[in-house]
Structure 1
Amino acid sequence: MEVNVKNMNNLISNVYRNSIADEIGIEIGDILLSINGEKVEDIIQYKFLISDDYIELEIKKRNGRIYLYEIEKEYDEELGIEFTNPIIDKAKSCRNKCVFCFIDQLPEGMRETLYFKDDDSRLSFLQGNFVTLTNMSEDDINNIIRYRISPINISVHTTNPELRRKMISNKFAGKLMDTMKRLADAGIEMNAQIVLCPGYNDKEELERTLEDLASLHPYVHSAAIVPVGITRYRDGLAKLEIFDEESASQTIDQINELQEKYLERLKTRFAFLSDEFYIIAKRPLLEYDEYEGFLQFEDGVGMITKMGTEIVNYLKTITDDERLSKTKKVSIATGQSSYEFMCDMAKEIMNKFKNIDINVYRIKNNFFGETITVSGLLTATDLIDQLKDEDLGETLYITRSMMKSDEEIFLDNITLKELEEKLKIEIIPCQNEGIDVVDKITK
């Protein structure tokens, strides 16, 4: 029996050793045709269909023969296979033209994948991406509910229908609350993100948005608020202002009041500002416990507090350790927004390890413009230009977030290896975790 497979999106690229798939003889290069007689076109559909404790798997082998496997397993147990395309069919590109879109502010010559705007609910579930919900058909909404895709990360920005249509430039953008209410009624959990743009969705509009979102709690877990980022490549785009010390302070005061109200009403602070607001305003961040488990950590909410607490606490546990006798001189390169914090952490480490000398270098973002201050948007070009004449010691440490998540390559298409060759030094990326930072610097 021959089957005409139009594409190779269901091509199996990996089989985990000792997994169910490995045990029954599924191999790399095989093609998944169906599960329980249903053609698989979506990774969410795949995960839903394999969750049962009995499934029938139709596989086309590389020689063209087709086999039907009857599998009994534990409920929700994985089969142990991966596909060449992690979401099986193509990711959906974004049809919006957001006034604050960072991709529209990119110069030429960067990593090719950076220019693709995704707006795919499956990537929200699988990778933590935020989606606007404007790119979703009725079938997409039904699939989220049917397959229990949860949590969904939603780029909200505003719940004011008219303002949202203006900010996102999509005529369907005003349907947001109707869609979110439908998802909440179905028990789908959501996280919300608001890119705050002065003069657009701040102040009264921000309060309105948060009140609307809070009305859907607990299905909307929390709302992260991040300041708009503006690069020097905004030619021909809508005029936007950035936050300064005064406007950032006003936003902090506004959120503090709302957090007190939500704590009493919802038993959660619900709305959280990213660290950038506090740095711009020169105000102290929240305490560790006030971040309530760091629900929006990937949005930069509480990242500094979490890492600082982890570093200090971990250093206290190190007593009789061979690392205390190893003399070394090293460097850390970081963005402007985290420079003071990294200087403080370097002092904490040097106070514990008298034999280690750490220099912290503040890297200005000349590539995108000095209004971009976060470390994750630094390029290898700026690292080279600003560190090439410095005494960096034996090792340079950077945050892993400067590079692509699955590859050691920077935004400007320069690899980690190439950067090491340019600076003539070993470079070690660190995760945004206190223990990882201390261990890599001191071992």
Structure 2
Amino acid sequence: MDISNQVAASGNKRRKDLNRIISVEPGSLGEKAGVRVGDRLLAIDGQPVRDMIDYSFQTAEDRIRLRVERDGQRLELRVKNAAGEPLGLEFAEPTFDGIRVCNNDCPFCFVYRTPKGFRPTLYVKDDDYRYSFMYGGFVTLTNLKDEDWQRIIEQRLTPLYVSVHSTELEMRRRLLGNSTAPNILDQLTRLNANGIEAHTQVVLVPTVNDGPNLEKTIFDLVKLYPGVQTSAIVPVGLAGGPGYDGDRRRNFKAHGRGFPAEAPMPMRPFTGPEAAVIIEQVHAWQKRFKKEIGTPFVYLSDEFYLLAGQEVPGRAHYEDFDQIENGVGLVRRFLDDWKHVEKKLPEKLERPLRATLVTAELITPTFEPLIRRLNRVEGLEVNLLTVINKTLGHTVTVAGLLTGKDVIEALQALEASGRDLGEVLYLPQVMLDKKGYGARFLDDLTPADVEKALGRPVVMGSYMSEVWDDLAEREKHPAQPATAPAARTVLELAAR
């Protein structure tokens, strides 16, 4: 799940606005109690409410007293028979006391590598265990205070998602750019001893924490199973396009909190052959762990298989898909979804349809046979457009880091070459920060901006079943040409 929207808003808004109620469901217990939009929640049964975790715990009673602030006045509202039934209140942010920021200085931190002018959500270095519990975001545990530990244990905030990177203390400190980072194995052991489970990740950097270091890390973590449920290995991602300001982090030398400036850490992406070596290494561990503890335990992100040009494992390999939000098993789900679509494809359409599907470099080989199969349906023509990431640099090849500007310019270039884009454009949902109204690309453009620039409707989706369902609906109900928006350029959109 992309939590950056919630995180950045909590970091940027004034704290007194974070507990503001922005929606009250009609007919809900909250409405019946007299809660109004604009009220600020101060306490429940006399206890302060720090965030949605407190809110969930404190609204589990049969009778509740809400203390709210309205127009400068403090009111007490009573809610009856609330047990098991939600109050129907939506808040401005999930944390009412702000966001816990990161105290590390990781050399691969995306925040440092984000060009200026992107959406504000991308410039907040969050490291808040509450977001880890609520949304599955990864945290390092380096900023926990005694009261945080007490709360995690008392409220049983499990599972947490923890960035490990290395269990060798000095290596982890270098990777975090934090010379005082505590021993992660001690922290995980403490969590496990108190009934708190963890899912972990290793951001893997070639020649840095791979090889023997990676082996030590994974075998240290598996000893903590089942307290540590899984470990995902994710290749380091490095942005650095034309707008990248390398000086924002002292040229990314790993000297952070106490490291000498003359000790740079080499940073580069994995090559295909290197990814293949990692796959072979990890598959051997998975077989061993499956035999010894009944689960593979360690999983590779899809990017390794795509880089190596290898097929992703079958569905059973991923068990419960516990790390799917970390890019582990997404391609498998995508391909399994396609199998269902392929079974119901007709031989021909009742009316001709053209469309364009946009994707990124890394996943293009996965899409190509699917698009060829779609185009075997008589009357259907789907363009597959691979967008190069000009904004963040050629080393960034995933769809989730494409900007609206790059998408628009690639579509306009394809059209200028004489290709008919068709009547609809399909874009990956992962390009946006969230679903629905207000969703934005990295550079703050919206799907509506793409529609304006290309004069065609845009449909966001994650699976080919969504594409096919939309095509089938358009076949039955053709769009009226007069409703298509007029085309505009990126420069015109930027000048809004």
Same fold (TM over 0.5): yes
- Equivalent residue runs for 1:185-224 within 5 Å: 185-224=193-232
Secondary structure in structure 2 of the residue aligned to 1:263: helix
Q: Secondary structure at the match of 2:73?
A: coil
Q: Residue 151 of structure 1 aligns with which residue?
A: 159
Runs of 5+ consecutive residues of structure 1 not aligned to the other structure: 1-5
Contact 2:60 2:82 in 1 (8 A): no
Change (3 A) 1:319 1:357: closer
> By how many angstroms is 1:200 displaced?
1.6
* Contact 1:311 1:438 (C-alpha < 8 Å) held by counterparts: no
Alignment of 1:101-180 (within 5 A): 101-180=109-188
Tell me which amino acid in the other structure corresponds to 2:59: I
1:69-108 CA-to-partner distances (Å, cap 9, x unmatched) read 1533334x42221222221111111121102112211111
Choose which of 314, 320, 324 in structure 2 pairs with 1:293.
320
Does residue 313 of the first structure (1) align with residue 340 of the second (2)?
yes
Instruction: Tell me if structure 2 keeps the 8 A contact 1:20–1:79.
Output: yes
Tell me what 2:363 maps to: 338
- Report how many aligned residue pairs link the two structures: 433
Structure 2 distance, partners of 1:269, 1:161, is 25
SS of 2:94's equivalent in the other structure is coil
Equivalent position SS for 1:398:
strand
For residues 82 and 116 of structure 2, the distance between their equivalents in structure 1, rounded to whole angstroms, comes to 50
Q: Is 1:271 aligned to residue 298 of structure 2?
A: yes
**What is the CA distance between 1:318 and its match in structure 2?**
6.3
Does 2:40 match 1:31?
A: yes
8 A Cα contact 1:420 1:427, kept in partner: yes
Q: Aligned residues: percent identity? A: 34
Q: Report what 1:403 is aligned to.
A: 432
Q: CA–CA distance in 2 between the matches of 1:51 and 1:161?
A: 41
- Residue 20 of structure 1, CA deviation: 1.6
Task: Pick from 81, 93, 108 the counterpart of residue 89 of structure 2.
Answer: 81
Q: Deviations over 1:100-125 (max 9, x none)?
A: 11221111111122111111111112
Residue among 237, 252, 259 paired with 1:237: 252
Equivalent-residue separation in structure 1 for 2:463 and 2:267 (angstroms):
33
Instruction: Measure how far apart 1:61 and its partner are.
Output: 4.0
**Change in CA separation of 1:363 and 1:47 when aligned onto 2, cut-off 3 Å:** same
Tell me the TM-score normalised to structure 2 length: 0.82
* Alignment check: 8 A CA contact 1:99 1:167 kept: yes
Partner of residue 16 from structure 1, selected from 1, 22, 25: 25
**Quick one: distance in 2 between partners of 1:441 and 1:191?**
39
Amino acid at match of 1:38: Q
Contact 2:353 2:379 survives alignment (8 Å): yes
Going from structure 1 to structure 2, the CA distance change for 1:29 and 1:412 (only over 3 Å counts) comes to closer
CA 1:315/1:22 → structure 2, altered by over 3 Å: closer, same or farther? farther
Q: In 1, distance between residues paired with 2:36 and 2:385?
A: 49
Find the counterpart in structure 2 of residue 3 from structure 1: none
Given that 1:356 and 1:442 are in contact with CA atoms closer than 8 Å, whether structure 2 keeps it comes out as no
Other structure's SS at 2:289 match? helix
CA distance in 2, matches of 1:317, 1:219: 43
- Distance in 2, matches of 1:9 and 1:383, equals 34
Deviations 1:26-80 (A, max 9, x none): 11122222222211123222222222344333334447252241533334x4222
Amino acid in structure 2 at the alignment position of 1:312: K
1:425 equivalent in structure 2: 456
Query: Is 1:43–1:122's contact at 8 Å kept on the other side of the alignment?
Result: no
The answer to whether residue 76 in structure 2 is matched with residue 67 in structure 1 is yes
Q: How far did 1:189 drift?
A: 2.3
Distance 1:369 1:70, change over 3 A: closer
Q: Secondary structure at the match of 1:327?
A: strand
| 411-420 vs 233-242, greater mean Cα deviation | 233-242
The amino acid across from 1:94 in the alignment is C
Name the SS of the counterpart of 2:390 in structure 1: coil
Question: 3-state DSSP class of the match of 2:252?
Answer: coil
CA separation in 1, counterparts of 2:60 and 2:381? Answer: 53
Match of 1:43 in 2: 52
The answer to whether the 8 A contact 2:65-2:76 is kept is no
Name the CA distance, whole Å, in 1 between partners of 2:273 and 2:169.
29
Distance 1:379 1:147, change over 3 A: same
For 1:51 and 1:213, how far apart are their aligned partners in 2?
Answer: 36
SS at match of 1:387: helix
Q: Which has the higher contact order (CA 8 A, sep 6+)?
A: 2
Q: 2:67, 2:74 within 8 Å by CA — same for their partners in 1?
A: no
Structure 1 residues 128-169: Cα deviation after superposition (integer angstroms, max 9, x where no partner): 211111122111121111112122111111111111111101
TM-score of the two chains, using structure 1 as the length reference: 0.92
Q: Deviations over 1:327-382 (max 9, x none)?
A: 2100111001111111222233344x433211101111121111111111111222
Q: Distance in 1 between matches of 2:176 and 2:22?
A: 37
Distance 1:135 1:355 in 2: 59
In structure 2, do the counterparts of structure 1 residues 14 and 338 end up closer, same or farther at CA, with 3 Å as the change threshold?
Answer: same
**Residue of structure 2 equivalent to 1:394:** 423
Q: Is the 8 A contact 1:57 1:71 kept in 2?
A: no
Tell me how far 1:10 sits from its aligned partner.
2.5
Which one-letter code corresponds to 1:372 in the other structure? V
Contact 1:16 1:80 in 2 (8 A): yes
For residues 243 and 274 of structure 1, what CA distance do their matches in structure 2 show?
Answer: 13
| Deviation of 1:194 (Å) | 1.2
Give 1:431-442 correspondences, 5 Å limit: 432-442=462-472
CA distance in 2, matches of 1:254, 1:223: 15
Partner SS for 1:106: coil
Say if 2:206 and 2:267, in contact at 8 Å, map to a contact too.
yes
Q: Distance in 2 between matches of 1:164 and 1:61?
A: 48
Rounded Cα–Cα distance in structure 2 between residues aligned with 1:241 and 1:342:
26
When residues 184 and 326 of structure 1 are mapped into structure 2, their CA distance, relative to the original with a 3 A threshold, is: farther
Once superposed, which parts of structure 1, at least 4 consecutive aligned residues long, lie more than 4 Å away? 317-320
